[in-house]
Each structure stands twice: as C-alpha cells, then as structure tokens.
C-alpha cells in the first residue's frame, strides 16, 4: 500500500446478507473472501463457498476473481468467468444473498486524528490457540448482532436412513419367506383358506 496520505484505498460496503451493515477495508495485495476462518474476510453465509472469491490489487485498484464457487460471483448482475477489474460503485453479489458495493476511500491529510496517550495503551493478549490477529483488515462501521446459524438436522437424517434400512430388510425377509413357500409347495399348508386347497 502506498504511504501517501491521499493514496486511495478501497472498501466493500455490505448491503445485503448476514453481514449487511458491515464495511470491510481492502488494503492487502490479495484478499480472500468466503466462509472459511482461513479467509481474510469471513462471511458466514451458508450459500458461500469456503473460499469463494479473491480480490487482487493491480494498478490503482482491484481485480475480482471467482474461485470456482458453487453459487457464483457477480459484478453488476453478470456472472464472473474470468478475473474482472472493479470500478468504484460496482455492485458485487456473492451467491444468492450477499451484496456489497466496491467503494474508494480517500484519506484527508488535513483531518485531525484523535489519539489516546501512549500511557493508556495496553499490550494485546493473544491466546495460544487463537489465530494471529490481522491488523491490516478491520471492520469499519456498524456491526449487527450475528444471526444464529441453524445446525443441519443430522439426527433426523440418521433416523430416516435407519428406517429405510429396516424397511428394506423387512421386504427382503417377506420375499424370502414367500419364495420358500412357493419352492416347497407349502401354499395350502401355510394358507389353508386359499381357494383350491383341500
């Protein structure tokens, strides 16, 4: 990133989806977006691929590339089949729900920035199992409370599979019994009420 005060940066303002209201700054050379916690920008939308797309800094802006996602990446309603240079104001849709706008951010060199005195700054604590912090990527703006994701009904699936297996075994057993009765001419012995039995 350029060290000039008025060097443009870009950001993504999320307009729809579970991350609506959030703003992500793009300030790395390559920014990966998807559901995976390994992505630079994590959007926990079930319809997004784990690694859905990537933003690549080129020249004074970014290219957007779909990474073979199932539900696609769209710019201004057109599905991406190759990397595409983004223009300010482009509407980006990831999958069917997540919509964001690509916006430039220009910093004002004349603006006054309030900074806390150094004595009040505490060192950050990093837990041993936690992923390293990402100082270059930050959420700017309002963050809505996270929506509770519904857990997939795994227990119901196993119950359904178990019932199907039991039904299949019952059909096989009945077919085997009927074959045995027919092969040994036991119809009248087992079912004396049938027509034609003495």
pLDDT digits (tens, 9 = 90+) for 105-122: 866 666 665 555 554 445
Segment 141-158 mean pLDDT: 57
Segment 141-156 mean pLDDT: 54
CB of 102 within 8 A of CB of 86?
yes
Residue among 63, 3, 6, 59 at smallest CA distance from 30: 63
Task: List, for residues 188-197, the tens digit of each pLDDT value.
Answer: 888 888 888 8
């Amino acid at each position: 990133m350029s060290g000039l005060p008025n060097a443009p940066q870009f950001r993504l303002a999320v307009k729809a989806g579970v991350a609506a209201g959030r703003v992500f700054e793009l300030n790395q050379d390559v920014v990966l977006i998807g559901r995976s916690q390994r992505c630079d920008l994590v959007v926990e939308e079930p319809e997004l691929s784990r690694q859905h797309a990537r933003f690549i800094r080129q020249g004074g802006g970014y290219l957007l590339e779909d990474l073979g996602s199932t539900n696609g990446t769209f710019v201004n309603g057109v599905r991406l089949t190759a990397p595409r240079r983004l223009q300010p104001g482009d509407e980006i849709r990831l999958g069917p729900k997540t919509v964001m706008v690509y916006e430039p951010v220009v910093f004002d060199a004349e603006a006054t920035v309030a900074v806390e005195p150094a004595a009040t700054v505490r060192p950050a604590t990093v837990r041993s199992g936690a992923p390293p912090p990402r100082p270059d990527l930050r959420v700017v703006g309002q963050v809505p409370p996270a929506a509770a994701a519904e857990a997939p009904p795994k227990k119901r699936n196993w119950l359904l599979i178990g019932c199907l297996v039991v039904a299949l075994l019952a059909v096989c057993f009945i077919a085997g019994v009927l074959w045995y009765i027919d092969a040994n001419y036991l119809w009248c012995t087992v079912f004396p009420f049938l027509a034609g039995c003495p």
